[in-house]
Structure 1
């Protein structure tokens, strides 16, 4: 199946439509909530929560004896919340840093989860087969009820964001100021964390424990490169996440032996790469272009100042001077002379140059600004 065939069949085929809609909604929810994790500098939180959810899945199976998706995800949610509050407790009650607490909970819960999975696999009950799909995800198992739950949770997240928008925004950028305004910062913080945990748990079935943090952070990291506004960042992150889900599913379905979860994460990584290179404000390409432009402007101004100092030795600023007296000057290039002539700072006559009135005043202004800066320092 080619990509064109996939998009042609996506609206008529139940399985393709369900998986595509589910991954798109999941990507949008992760993009929205991942923005808060990125801005709060808690990028490892998603990784820790997703790994902390694994023992909850295994325990839910051991207790119930069934592979009911809702029960397994409920166990993952409880386990993820326990891991989250343990992280908060370690940070507040001890002298350990945030990254240390995240690493401890991640390794502890994931190790315990793998131990339980190993134990389950050795049981004589055939129902445990396929339980390890939560490690790497299996989008093909999505059904309409799963997608409905994702849509409901995503809409609920959007509603909560609208209701507590002011509180979330203030808390993100100045927690101490939020306290002075009388807001309950602990409640707001717990609310954000709860929805992040909820989004991660919903994505375990599709992307898996190992890759879930990437889907949470990649769209937000990409969106951060394009804007400085929180609202714009959340919207862009949701779009990047949704497109990652759609195109990742399309590529996976059109090729043989490609898992959907990893492909979605790779597509999200492509969005990050493109954003890092081509975004106008922070992109590496435009940063390099601005650097070169600034360097050319600096060379231009240094050459003009040298010309000004030479021209001041004559009563007539339009007195012609040979170009060769500039050859030993580091900022001089033939291109810089052409640019200065375009700006009408100088006139060129064969191998001679002379300052214009406009160039003289431009040089005087630069000299005055330099003198002022040196005096203030």
Structure 2
């Protein structure tokens, strides 16, 4: 593994993937919190016409010009979305869908035009659709690093404002903050993240890198600061993992492997994150059902004891089953382990009977009093 990481090409790809993970993880958090997960998809597809225009302007595959074109076209698409949502009755999802489809269609037309133009430099331009990590140069890393650094600096500088706009734009407006300008800034920052990832994962898969790290991080924490840090960390892990796996497995593309790696992280987070994971939620629901069943049985025993004027009235297990319409043996055994009920004999009957213990009587009385107060 150390020898593999010592390879120049793999180092370059891994560093590019790490930069992608940082930028997309941090900036994607604000898109997810603003319920604009489709924004990354729109901006990544809107980058295609900018890539083509950048190539036409430069006349070659100059990465700086191409990425600048992608940023401009992405920003224009984002502004179109804002105008459509604020100046018309269209909802955000409809505006995003319009911007995505129109811009991608324009990009495909321009790409077809370039490919039919006979310019030898256009070879491999379509790799921006799905990414071509192996083509990244060390000089490209400086551009990616500068974009990432600018985005992080802007987040740091406007942290409080971005946080307030993301969670409560109405309150931010009441405080006199320029909400529209801040939203435009955040959207352009997401476009920056898209630009960073174009060479690595391409236009089509870039939306996963905007959404997935933030979604995974959201499962583990309730703090925005921790969420941003975790999202960046998950993005780095996924990026480097995808790059290393691609280097060890011949013929596998880096971009899709990075997306698969972050998808695994999302799946693990959805299942196992404490408090929010599906596994923990299932266990909590099971515990709640058992607790509810226990309270219901205690209330039944208490009611029968009160009706017969005998606090130690023995109740037959079959009667409890019939009353609740479900087997109660497991519930009675759990209550017995807690010291709330005890098995008793009731001559001449031979069937199992149960009675409340002093602790069970006290607990049942508390449940009954709470039920009366709530009603």
The TM-score range, normalised by the shorter chain, is over 0.9
CA distance 1:280–1:329, change in 2 (3 Å): farther
Q: Secondary structure at the match of 1:257?
A: coil
Conservation of the 8 A alpha-carbon contact between 2:52 and 2:110: yes
- Counterpart of 1:218? 212
CA displacement at 1:332 relative to structure 2: 4.7
Say yes or no: does 1:273 pair with 2:267: yes
Partner SS state of residue 349, structure 1: strand
Task: Tell me which of 306, 314, 322 is aligned to 2:300.
Answer: 306
Q: State the shift of 1:82 in Å.
A: 1.2
- Two-structure CA RMSD over aligned residues (Å): 1.6
Shift of 1:10: 4.1
Shift of residue 187, structure 1, vs aligned partner = 2.5
Q: Does 1:138 align with 2:132?
A: yes
Matched with 1:337 is 332
Residue of structure 2 equivalent to 1:371: 372
- Supply the distance in 2 between the matched residues of 1:111 and 1:361 (Cα, whole angstroms): 72
The within-5 A match list for 1:17-96 is 17-96=11-90
Contact 1:134 1:208 in 2 (8 A): yes
Q: Secondary structure at the match of 1:353?
A: strand
| Deviation at residue 146 of structure 1 after TM alignment | 1.9
Which residue among 221, 238, 243 is the counterpart of 1:244?
238
| 1:150 Cα deviation after fit | 2.4
In the TM superposition, residue 173 of structure 1 has moved relative to its aligned partner by 1.1
Distance (Å, rounded) in 2 between the aligned partners of 1:94 and 1:249: 44
User: Residues 9 and 16 of structure 1 are in contact (CA less than 8 Å); yes or no, is this contact kept in structure 2?
Assistant: no
Return 176-185 or 110-119, whichever deviates more. Answer: 176-185
The alignment's TM-score, normalised by the length of structure 1, stands at 0.93
Moved runs in structure 1, 4+ residues, more than 6 A? none
Aligned to 2:348: none
1:230 aligns with 2:230: no
After TM superposition, the structure 1 = structure 2 runs for residues 60-209 of structure 1, keeping only pairs within 5 Å, are 60-209=54-203
Answer whether contact 2:148 2:196 (CA < 8 A) is retained.
no
CA distance in 2, matches of 1:162, 1:183: 17
Return 340-349 or 202-211, whichever deviates more. 340-349
Specify every segment of 5 or more residues in structure 2 that has no aligned partner in the other structure, as ranges: 346-351
Q: Give CA-to-partner distance per residue, 1:233-253, whole Å, 9 cap, x none.
A: 111111111111011111111
Question: Residue deviations 1:55-109, cap 9 Å, x none?
Answer: 1111121222111111111111111111111111111111111111111111111
Supply the distance in 1 between the matched residues of 2:149 and 2:108 (Cα, whole angstroms).
Answer: 33
TM-score (norm 2): 0.94
1:319 and 1:95, CA in 2 relative to 1: closer, same or farther beyond 3 A? closer
1:251-303 per-residue CA deviation (whole Å, 9 max, x = no partner) reads 11111211111111111111111112222222222111111111111111111
- Tell me, in whole angstroms, the C-alpha distance in 2 between the residues paired with 1:56 and 1:321: 78
Counterparts in 2 of 1:93 and 1:321: CA distance versus 1, 3 Å:
closer
2:343 matches 1:348 = yes
CA distance in 2, matches of 1:200, 1:136: 13
Aligned to 1:297: 291
**Taking structure 1 as reference, are residues 44 and 321 closer, same or farther at Cα in structure 2, changes over 3 Å only?**
closer
